[in-house]
Amino acid sequence: MTSLIRIKKEFTDIAKAEGKGISAQLVGDDFFKWQATINGEEGTPYKGGVFFLGVDFPKNYPFSPPKIKFETKIYHCNVNEKGEICLDELKDKWSPGLTVTRILEIIMNIMKTPNVDSPVNAEIATELKTNKAKHDETAAEWTRKYAQ
């Protein structure tokens, strides 16, 4: 099964990204289900937080994207209340050349620089554009509350 071979290689490769604030572990002994973590970076309202994400691989991976969503509640304009992430690379811009490590790096990047032009939560995006201090205060509060 080529999917499993690819997933096992990616699981080995993600260990090399741990120094970048990204890690993953299997859920049970199922290589098709991971729990990934992203550490909130300095200079963001998410600093100090540890965010858990569920990663579910389809049977035809890498020809279809994995389903990745936040399990930790996060105040972010590109993440809805169910933890689903508005990210083109997980939808129509998916390519078999992408890896979970790369997708997690992209997610870390949108935590640093939210995409206010393509929000899944328009209210949060508007707040970020019009009152960044209030946005950052709420995001930091949620980080302390949910991501410790």
Residue 50, classed as helix, strand or coil, is strand
Residue 9, classed as helix, strand or coil, is helix
| Residue 17 main-chain phi, psi, to 5 deg | -95, 0
Catalytic residue among 86, 98, 106, 116: 86
List of residues 6+ apart from 23 with CB closer than 8 A: 14, 15, 17, 36, 37
List of residues 6+ apart from 134 with CB closer than 8 A: 127
Q: Is 86 a catalytic residue?
A: yes
Residues marked as catalytic: 86
